[in-house]
Structure 1
Amino acid sequence: MSKAYREIEYTVTEADGTITAGEVMRERLMLSSREVSRCKLFEDGVMCKGVPVRIITELDPGDVLTVRLYEDIENSSVIVPSDEPVNIVYEDEDLILLNKRGDQVVHPSYAHYMDSLSNALAGYYAKTGQEHVMRVIGRLDRETSGLIIFAKNRHSASVLSQKNENMSRRKEYLALCTGIFNEKEGTVDAPIERIPGQRMIREVRSDGKRAVTHYKIEKEFRDFSLVRLQLDTGRTHQIRVHMAYLGHPLLGDNLYGKDIEDNKGMTRAALHACHLEFEQPITGERLSFEAELPEDMKTAISS
């Protein structure tokens, strides 16, 4: 089994001057106060030259501080591993980026105890000898396919979560929407709120929370369109609600497009998270990824 911690090193520079271990952790490695406190719980959580040091210990230029971020495996919820394969787009020590299939929940629930994406990822971790707490960054609805991030350690989860709003604005979706749009690109700025008495269904309402969706037509077909979308906000079902509001509900959407006569074989809302940009949480490297349309949406286009 692999080590259940992430080790990070920092070499003190001349520009740093004399600096304490705690200052390096907080100001250079950008660890939160909670993470710093947790490192102190372990004998080898904070070390210099292979020797444990206190966070008030002063370091000199050339000193290398080693910090170990231990996973809290014992107190994490147990997710039963499944044998379902995962579609890995990218993986490193700090995160794993998956291409989720459509009509799959991300987290286990009473109705989806063994068939969630987290179950499949737990199975992959078990097979590869990795121990990680499940920490998903952002979210995808059950029906939506595409790119989704799981952080592998506490620090990467914290950094990615702090940047999630900007990351979401750089995320792009592709949808198959009914009909031909009069305006080939535009912005929907219309508040969304849950329908009273309904647990899941939303609608555009003046008393709702602000929701902004940008769209651009990629390709038109006889009676439906391939649309690229970006979000400034992340309301539940935002794209599905806004496209229905425009009179162009998504193919296969049984909540907001019940009157669609021909769903082109789609049995779930035709929405796919196709593009994602973000910075690697430890190195700061700019990463960019694409996920091609899934087979059900390709089939709908070719039908």
Structure 2
Amino acid sequence: MKQIITEKEHGMLLKEYAQRLGISKRMLADIKFGGGDLLANGEHVTVRYVLQKGDELLIQFPPEKVSESLLPEDIPLDILFEDDHVLVVNKQPYLSSIPSREHPAGSLANGLIHYYQKTGCQATVHLVSRLDRDTSGVMLVAKHGFAHSLLSGLQKKGYVKRQYRAVVHGLICEESGTIDAPIGRKTSSIIERAVIPDGQKAVTHFRVNSRIGRLTDVSLDLETGRTHQIRVHMSHIGHPLCGDTLYGGNRDFIKRQALHSEKLTFIHPLTKEEMAFQAPVPHDIKQLWES
């Protein structure tokens, strides 16, 4: 991670500057003893180095260890953006985010490890957002643990926002609305979730785009990120997603749940720049609008 020291940081100890960036004492210890490095203008320095205006500071985090169970696989990746800290991908449907008991290989994580090894990135996989296997669209990935830590904090503060597109069964009468209903694990299943009184707070905002025959095309914004949140909430109000057999939909029109992560906006953890990305809706969902 490269930083150019400005007048504002002139005279500051490197240790203090690093902590202002969000690098904890533990992370600094890992850099010192775990194979990382601190360089100012190409020279090795310690945390006691006094920063000078114009210094080019390079903070190198230790190489990350990849789990032996996460094998690299040459899976095509649709990369929308990449720098040294973050990566934004457009995930295709029928691709798991991470390996699971049902799908132990062929996940996005396996593809990322292969890509990292091919490009010389010594990192493991840090998914900031996840999508269900059948859900397509934009996902945010951190390329090192520090970026992941910062993005997780930004996410909790609402600075990582996602907008989804879905087609649901039935005609929604309202033009827009908010579903504020707690979600928890269904006692009879290790997979299925449900709206339950003692569940975690979950809030989904929806807006109707169009009504097509017996279906409704909606855009959805999430305030929270509970497992299966959109699927559970839309089923809860009587409009399950097309193709979502787990939550009351059927596959008469599409062979997967008709859900797509269409837009992603976030504050870059290092540059503090606001970033926005969009992934086109796949053909199998678009054809529902024309049915």
Query: What TM-score results when the alignment is normalised by the length of structure 1?
Result: 0.88
- 14, 17, 20: which one aligns with 2:13: 20
1:92 and 2:73 equivalent?
no
Q: C-alpha displacement at 1:298, in angstroms?
A: 1.7
Give the corresponding residue for 2:129. Answer: 138
Give the corresponding residue for 2:265. Answer: 277
Q: After superposition, give the CA deviation of every residue in 1:230-255 in whole Å (9 maximum; x if it has no partner).
A: 11112211111111111111000011
Give the corresponding residue for 1:69. Answer: 61
CA 1:92–1:193 in 2, change beyond 3 Å: closer, same or farther?
same
1:289 maps to amino acid:
F
Q: C-alpha displacement at 1:12, in angstroms?
A: 4.4
CA 1:130–1:46 in 2, change beyond 3 Å: closer, same or farther?
closer
Q: Distance in 1 between matches of 2:44 and 2:115?
A: 34
1:199 and 2:194 equivalent?
no
Q: After superposition, give the CA deviation of every residue in 1:140-188 in whole Å (9 maximum; x if it has no partner).
A: 1222111111211222111111112345762100010111111110001
Identity %: 35
Q: C-alpha displacement at 1:228, in angstroms?
A: 0.5
Q: After superposition, give the CA deviation of every residue in 1:194-227 in whole Å (9 maximum; x if it has no partner).
A: 2222111122222222211100001110110110
Q: Distance in 1 between matches of 2:14 and 2:33?
A: 15
Q: Distance in 1 between matches of 2:36 and 2:176?
A: 56
**Is the 8 Å Cα contact of residues 21 and 65 (structure 1) preserved in structure 2?**
no
1:22 maps to amino acid:
K
Task: Describe the SS at the equivalent of 1:229.
Answer: strand
CA 1:190–1:47 in 2, change beyond 3 Å: closer, same or farther?
same
Give the corresponding residue for 2:283. Answer: 295
Q: C-alpha displacement at 1:128, in angstroms?
A: 3.2
Q: Distance in 1 between matches of 2:122 and 2:70?
A: 12
2:122 maps to amino acid:
E
Q: Distance in 2 between matches of 1:167 and 1:100?
A: 23
Q: Distance in 2 between matches of 1:129 and 1:55?
A: 27
Consecutive unaligned residues in structure 2, runs of 5 or more: none
Give the corresponding residue for 1:154. Answer: 145
Q: C-alpha displacement at 1:10, in angstroms?
A: 3.3
Q: C-alpha displacement at 1:256, in angstroms?
A: 0.9
Task: Describe the SS at the equivalent of 2:209.
Answer: strand
Consecutive unaligned residues in structure 1, runs of 5 or more: 1-6
**Is the 8 Å Cα contact of residues 71 and 133 (structure 1) preserved in structure 2?**
no
Task: Describe the SS at the equivalent of 1:171.
Answer: strand
Q: After superposition, give the CA deviation of every residue in 1:82-130 in whole Å (9 maximum; x if it has no partner).
A: 2221111111111111111223211123432321111122232333343
1:263 maps to amino acid:
D
1:179 maps to amino acid:
G
1:263 and 2:252 equivalent?
yes
- 25, 29, 35: which one aligns with 2:27: 35
**Is the 8 Å Cα contact of residues 160 and 264 (structure 2) preserved in structure 1?**
no
Q: Distance in 1 between matches of 2:275 and 2:159?
A: 14
2:272 maps to amino acid:
G
1:8 maps to amino acid:
K
**Is the 8 Å Cα contact of residues 35 and 62 (structure 2) preserved in structure 1?**
no
Give the corresponding residue for 1:252. Answer: 243
**Is the 8 Å Cα contact of residues 216 and 228 (structure 1) preserved in structure 2?**
yes
CA 1:232–1:43 in 2, change beyond 3 Å: closer, same or farther?
closer
1:8 and 2:19 equivalent?
no
1:102 maps to amino acid:
P
2:19 maps to amino acid:
R
Alignment root-mean-square deviation, CA: 2.1
**Count of residues in correspondence between the two structures:** 291
2:205 maps to amino acid:
H
Query: What TM-score results when the alignment is normalised by the length of structure 2?
Result: 0.91
Q: Distance in 1 between matches of 2:147 and 2:188?
A: 38
Residues 87-126 of structure 1: pairs in structure 2 closer than 5 A = 87-126=78-117
